Every structure is written in C-alpha cells, then in structure tokens.
C-alpha cells in the first residue's frame, strides 16, 4: 500500500518545500484480535500531525504513519473480543448541551458491533488499557497506557489503517467523507473544550486561533446560544469567524470589547495565555485545547486572581466522540475543507504550518 512515513522527525521547511516525511510502499496491515482493517477514504490534516512530524512530540514509534482524523470502510475483522463493559455506558450518557442534559438515546447504531462494509471514523484515541484508575473513573482520556493513532500506532496517511473496533465510530450518513474527517479531532476536541469551559446559554466565549477546531466549535457554541469573540492573527480567518457568526473578530492578543465568561486557546502559542486571561471576567475559565504549546511566559498574579481558572484538555473520551457526532448531525455542522491527494500530504502539512488553510485540510486517499 502507499503511505507516508516519518523517517526521522525534523522541521518542515516551507520555503524550500522540504519535509522529513517519505512517500513509500508499505506492507498492508492485518487486523489482530479486537481490531478492524479500514480502507482509508479520507484523512484530515491536524496541527498535532505537525507536532509528530517535526518532533515536538517525542518519538513513540519509528517510521510512524501520521494522521488521526480518518474516514474509511471496514474491509476485514480480526477475531472478536468480549465487548468492553464501559462502551454501552459511554454511548448512552453523552452530554450534548451546555446544560449538561443528555437526550434520550435508546437503541441505535452504537449498540451493535461494527461490520464489514460499514463506514467508520478512526480518531486520536486508538485504545486504552480499560483497567487503570482513570479508565475505571470514566476518564479514559487520561489512561496511563493509552495508544494514539498517528503517534504510537500507524495512522491514516495511507491506503489502509488498523483500528481497535471498540474505539471506531460508526458515522452519520449525512456528511461526505471529506467533510466528516475534520470532525474526528478538530470537532471532538473543540466539543470537549466547550464542555469543560462551563460556557452556558447567553454566555460570552473567546476563541483564540481560528483554524479547523475553532471553525467547528463556533458552530456548536452558536447553536447553544453563546456569543463568540474570535482572536486570530490572519485577516482571512477573522473574516471566516464573522461569517460563522462571531460578534467580534480581532488580532490574536487584541482585547475583546467585553469581558468574557470563558475562552479557549486552540493556537499552540503560550504567549496568548496572559492576553486571554486579561479578557476574562472574575470566575472565568481559560481552556488550553492543544496537546503541545510553547512556553507560557511569566505573568502578574492579578491576571489569575479573582478565581479565574486555567485548565488543559487532554485527548478525548469515546463519550465525547459519540456525543459530538450526534450533535454535529443534528445542527448540522458544516466544515470548510481544502482537499489534497494522498501524494500531496506533505504539501498539505506545509500549507497548514503557514496558516494558509481556510478551514481544514483533508487528504482524499481512495474512492469508494
């Protein structure tokens, strides 16, 4: 199969068009017990992929195939394992509103095992041990022995990928492959950030950085009746924020015209933290939505005083994913994408690094 691998992590040189990734012929994988073989249709390009390729995340697997926003068709099943007893609970308790009330779910596609020919999504959280203190406490996103798609196990910059059956998402039929792919990381993580921010109907929310995650999160926030204020350095991203319903858009560290109830930083830039805190009301929450961030500078205690809260979001749970995908189909969430062929994956990453993508970059891998 054709695939992109990272021979040795290093900086992408956008000026020279140089990347540490290699386009290779790789062996087609086979599913083991509890696994499924997925033929990749589309794979979103995420800033976390950049962190993996450039070595900002430590190497966990040599010659890794990046990519963790995967839409594909199940082609082969490994030997079935006993169902994870936590799966049904996670599938039936998803919260989809800022009030914390979940809608009645009843029976549905998530109550059944995945079958050959089914379209599924494969996301960042590849698997967990199901036994550690965090998994037992319904905090599987903090699992001590988690595996991650495109970082510790091979991902979707390839024609085929292996997934853990119990961590794959049956997908709504309403959305196309390319427009679904960004939902599987940018969407799910943005949704978790919204939930932990504590934002409520009628509240004021700041979004710092306006890439794929923010362009999805704003749609959920607006659906919940939240006013959104966007701070981002690029004028075209400011324009997109206004198109999607922001009441204000300005520069990255520009002060919003009002104090905010909560804010989310999606950009991996620690220098934004003081500016975002300065824009919060007393008692407000600042959520750091990335897996990697540059150093946060020293700042006056006054920025934090007043019971302001700074917290990170680490990965996601299956509950987050299932709740968000239901909500995305209900709204429905619309994604703006720029599509690349599999052979152009390195160019897609270069454009992402240069902030030249409006919305999300998606790799079209194979046709149905």
Q: Which domains does the chain have, with CATH numbers?
A: 2-184+336-364 (3.90.180.10), 188-312 (3.40.50.720)
Which are the contacts of 85, defined by CB distance < 8 A and separation ≥ 6? Answer: none
Q: How crowded is the C-beta side of 313, counted as CA atoms within 13 Å?
A: 27
Q: What is the mean pLDDT of the chain?
A: 91
Question: How many other β-carbons are positioned within 10 Å of the β-carbon of residue 223?
Answer: 18
Through-space distance between the first and last CA atoms of the chain, rounded to whole angstroms = 16
* pLDDT surpasses 50 at 54: yes
Q: What is the DSSP track for 43-57?
A: EEE-HHHHHHHTTSS
E strand or H helix that includes residue 301: none
Could you tell me the two tokens for 55?
A: 């070595």
Per-residue pLDDT tens over the stretch 288-332 = 999 999 999 999 999 999 999 999 999 999 999 999 999 999 999
Helix H, strand E, coil C: the string for 202-268 is: CCEEEEECCCHHHHHHHHHHHHCCCEEEEECCCHHHHHHHHHCCCCEEECCCCCCCCCEEEEEECCC
Per-residue pLDDT tens over the stretch 137-185 = 999 999 999 999 999 999 999 999 999 999 999 997 877 899 999 999 9
Q: Decide if 283 contacts 260 (C-beta within 8 A).
A: no
Cα–Cα distance for residue pair 13/352, rounded to 1 Å: 12
Ramachandran quadrant class, 320 (left: phi over 0; alpha: psi -120 to 50; beta: rest): alpha
* pLDDT surpasses 90 at 14: no
Q: Decide if 67 contacts 157 (C-beta within 8 A).
A: yes
Cα–Cα distance for residue pair 317/241, rounded to 1 Å: 27
Q: Region 244-270: what's the mean pLDDT?
A: 96
Backbone angles phi, psi at 116, to 5 degrees: -60, 135
Q: pTM of the entire structure?
A: 0.88
Report the pLDDT value the prediction gives residue 111, as an integer from 0 to 100. 43
Q: At what angle do helices 212-223 and 186-197 cross, to 10 degrees?
A: 50
Q: Decide if 252 contacts 207 (C-beta within 8 A).
A: no
Going by pLDDT thresholds of 50, 70 and 90, the confidence category of residue 360 is very high
Going by pLDDT thresholds of 50, 70 and 90, the confidence category of residue 98 is low
């Amino acid at each position: 199969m054709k695939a992109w691998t990272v021979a040795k992590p290093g900086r992408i040189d956008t000026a020279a068009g140089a990347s540490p990734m290699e386009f290779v012929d790789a062996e087609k994988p086979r599913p083991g017990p509890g696994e499924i073989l997925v033929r990749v249709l589309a794979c979103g390009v995420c800033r976390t992929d950049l962190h993996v390729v450039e070595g900002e995340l430590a190497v966990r697997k040599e010659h890794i195939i990046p990519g963790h926003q995967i839409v594909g068709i199940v082609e082969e099943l490994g030997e079935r394992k006993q169902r994870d007893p936590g799966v049904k609970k996670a599938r039936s308790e998803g919260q989809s509103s800022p009030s914390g009330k979940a809608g009645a779910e009843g029976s549905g596609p998530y109550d059944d095992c995945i079958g050959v020919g089914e379209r599924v999504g494969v996301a960042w959280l590849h698997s967990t041990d199901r036994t550690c203190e965090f998994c037992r406490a319904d905090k599987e996103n903090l699992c001590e022995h988690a595996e991650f798609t495109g970082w510790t196990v091979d991902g979707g910059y390839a024609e085929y990928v292996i997934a853990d059956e119990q961590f794959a998402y049956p997908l709504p039929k309403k959305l196309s492959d390319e427009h679904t792919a960004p939902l599987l990381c940018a969407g799910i993580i943005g949704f978790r950030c919204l939930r932990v921010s504590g934002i409520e109907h009628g509240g004021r929310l700041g979004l710092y950085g306006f890439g794929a995650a923010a362009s999805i999160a704003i749609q959920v926030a607006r659906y919940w009746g939240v006013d959104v204020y966007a701070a981002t350095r690029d004028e075209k991203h400011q324009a997109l924020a206004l198109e999607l319903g922001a009441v204000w858009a300005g520069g990255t560290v520009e002060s919003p015209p009002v104090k905010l109830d909560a804010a989310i930083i999606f950009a991996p830039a620690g220098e934004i933290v003081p500016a975002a805190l300065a824009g919060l009301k007393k008692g407000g929450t600042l959520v750091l939505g990335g897996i990697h961030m540059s150093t946060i500078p020293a700042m006056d205690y006054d920025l934090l005083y007043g019971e302001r809260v700074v917290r990170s979001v680490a990965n996601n749970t299956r509950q987050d994913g299932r709740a968000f995908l239901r909500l995305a189909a209900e709204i429905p969430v619309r994604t703006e994408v720029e599509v690349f062929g599999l052979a152009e994956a390195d160019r897609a990453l270069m454009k992402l690094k240069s902030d030249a993508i409006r919305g999300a970059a998606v790799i079209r891998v194979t046709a149905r």
